[in-house]
Amino acid sequence: MSQEHSSSRSSVSRIDASVSLPVRLFIISSILWLLVASVLSLIVALKLQVPSFLSDCAWFTYGRLEVLQRNAFIYGWASNALFALNLWIMSSLARFELKSSWLPVLGGLVWNLTLTYGLIQVLLGQLNGFALLEMPKEVAPAMVVAFLFAALWPAVAFARRPTGNVFVSQWYIIGATFVFPVITVVAQLMLLWCPTLGVMQALVHSWFYQNLILLWLGGSALSAIYYFIAKESGRTISAYYLATVGFWTYFLFASWTGPATLLGAPIPVWLQSVGVVAALMMLVPIVITAVNFFGTLAPRSGIAQSWNNTTLRFVLVGTVSFIVSALLSVVFSTRSLNALVRFTEFTQAQEHLAVYSFVSMVIFGAAYYILPRLTGSFWPSAKLVHLHFWASTLGSLLFVVAGLNHGWAAHGRTDFAVSALPGLVAAALLFVGHFAFALNAFGMLTAEEAPSSRRSY
């Protein structure tokens, strides 16, 4: 599929070597969590098809497994992978050699151990009702501290960079990294430690949730899109002067969109309206990023060239998904349309589009670029890369289209039929894709250790 290997360096650069250990730890953990989350998605999808499957024991009820899946995916897979991406991208942009790599390693270990502990507690029934805050409250302080150790380094790299140059990716990384601990601490305090009254909780949760998805995950992924589009196409970002505006408007408006996810809920109507306005204003950063990305790639058959490059192919799917998901949120935060699809699989499909088709596809693309540079070896199998790409792309396409379609159709109906089969097939496809990815990645990471391996510089 790709010519990327021809450009791979003959040895691992000093900067890459300095971050190698933590980046590897993050990537390995993220892939393991991805596998866990994929198996859980399969089980959850199967339970919708066959509700009696694994239903004889409280541990494996739909409600708990769904919580496990979501947390393993967001905190285990996406967050670990973004630790890796942010650190690697920032070090290479800021020419930063990490001296004390044991600190992020420690952070990563604590993060993963706490997450494991939290998820076991959930399995045993110690959970809360707030999405992505379900783990027992004693978990959060440890995770925030672990986050600081694991994710602080890009900011250090940025502060110590030798040149004055700044690239837009760097702002997104700094911003995204700042957001996570702040919103987590605020939400934990206002929901679990000293809970606010009544539906204030729903409001706080919506604020936390939107910031987490759009700013921590989305912001980090946008940074990677800017980086890889510029790097792999060898072009300068078109209309680059707009990128600053894009960055600030994205952060400014995204963090107000929470109430737009609560339309019709028993919270004051003016708050809902503020959310809707913020959601509409998101058009500004969406248009700017679209101009930046497609303005860069579209001329001189850049899209076709990107399609032949593994990293860019994944990133391209992620970019298109970002735009589509962002536009869908804009359109469906208008009250009348929102009323039709709220609570249905439509919203689930929208969310999948954001956290999978956008954020995860970008991470995959980045991993295909970063790992060879860290290990100095090649991806063992191009076939597996193909398999991964198509299984992931088609699987998420199926999930999204079936969900949007079913959710849209649901407003006319009063029964509770679910479109379980497409979800199951999609989960199976994603599982195949992730398995292929994991095989390839672990093949590469272990092959390198063996001296007789196929290093062909």
Query: Is residue 420 near another protein by the rule CB under 8 A?
Result: yes
Q: Which does 299 bind (CB under 5 to 8 A by kind): ligand HEC, another protein, none?
A: none
**Closer residue to ligand HEC in complex, CB, 166/421:** 421
Rounded to the nearest whole angstrom, what is the least distance from the CB of residue 63 to ligand HEC in the complex? 5
**Closer residue to ligand HEC in complex, CB, 46/109:** 46
Query: Is residue 291 near another protein by the rule CB under 8 A?
Result: no
**Distance (Å, rounded) from C-alpha 58 to C-alpha 60?**
6
- Of 13, 50, 63, 125, which one interacts with ligand HEC (CB under 6 A)? 63
**Closer residue to ligand HEC in complex, CB, 62/390:** 62
**Distance (Å, rounded) from C-alpha 220 to C-alpha 243?**
15
Rounded to the nearest whole angstrom, what is the least distance from the CB of residue 64 to another protein in the complex? 5
Q: Report the site for ligand HEC in 411-440 (rule: CB under 6 A).
A: 416
**Closer residue to ligand HEC in complex, CB, 270/416:** 416
- One-letter amino acid at 229 equals I
Query: Is residue 401 near another protein by the rule CB under 8 A?
Result: no
- Of 116, 126, 305, 405, which one interacts with another protein (CB under 8 A)? 126
Query: Is residue 416 near another protein by the rule CB under 8 A?
Result: yes
Rounded to the nearest whole angstrom, what is the least distance from the CB of residue 70 to ligand HEC in the complex? 14
**Closer residue to ligand HEC in complex, CB, 416/457:** 416
Interaction pattern, residues 242-281, with another protein; x per rule: CB under 8 A:
--x---x--xx--xx-xx-x-xxxxxx--x--xx------
Residue least distant from ligand HEC (Cβ): 416
**Distance (Å, rounded) from C-alpha 91 to C-alpha 103?**
15
- Of 245, 331, 343, 446, which one interacts with another protein (CB under 8 A)? 343
Rounded to the nearest whole angstrom, what is the least distance from the CB of residue 47 to another protein in the complex? 7
**Closer residue to ligand HEC in complex, CB, 58/331:** 58
**Closer residue to ligand HEC in complex, CB, 324/418:** 418
Query: Is residue 128 near another protein by the rule CB under 8 A?
Result: yes
Only one of the segments 143-151, 289-297, 318-326, 412-420 lies at the binding site for another protein (rule: CB under 8 A); that segment is 412-420
For the chain, the three-class secondary structure string (H helix, E strand, C coil) is CCCHHHHCCCCCCHHHHHHHHHHHHHHHHHHHHHHHHHHHHHHHHHHHHCCCCCCCCHHHCHHHHHHHHHHHHHHHHHHHHHHHHHHHHHHHHHCCCCCCCHHHHHHHHHHHHHHHHHHHHHHHCCCCCCCCCCCCCCHHHHHHHHHHHHHCHHHHHHHCCCCCCCCHHHHHHHHHHHHHHHHHHHHHHHHHHCCCCCCHHHHHHHHHHHHHHHHHHHHHHHHHHHHHHHHHHCCCCCCCHHHHHHHHHHHHHHCCCHHHHHCCCCCCHHHHHHHHHHHHHCHHHHHHHHHHHHHHHCHHHHHHHHHCCHHHHHHHHHHHHHHHHHHHHHHCCCHHHHHHHCCCHHHHHHHHHHHHHHHHHHHHHHHHHHHHHHHCCCCCCHHHHHHHHHHHHHHHHHHHHHHHHHHHHHCCCCCCCCCHHHHHHHHHHHHHHHHHHHHHHHHHHHHCCCCCCCCCC
Q: Report the site for another protein in 174-193 (rule: CB under 8 A).
A: 174-175, 178-179, 182-183, 186, 190
Q: Report the site for ligand HEC in 43-62 (rule: CB under 6 A).
A: 62
For residue 218, give Cα distances in angstroms to 80, 110, 177, 215, 252: 14, 24, 11, 5, 14
Rounded to the nearest whole angstrom, what is the least distance from the CB of residue 124 to ligand HEC in the complex? 16
- Of 112, 319, 347, 360, which one interacts with another protein (CB under 8 A)? 347
Rounded to the nearest whole angstrom, what is the least distance from the CB of residue 372 to another protein in the complex? 31
Q: Report the site for another protein in 47-66 (rule: CB under 8 A).
A: 47-48, 51-52, 55-58, 61-64, 66
Query: Is residue 125 near ligand HEC by the rule CB under 6 A?
Result: no
- Of 140, 202, 212, 371, which one interacts with another protein (CB under 8 A)? 202
Q: Report the site for another protein in 92-121 (rule: CB under 8 A).
A: none
Q: Both tokens of residue 273? A: 């309206």
**Distance (Å, rounded) from C-alpha 290 to C-alpha 229?**
12
Give the residues lining the site for ligand HEC (CB under 6 A): 62-63, 416
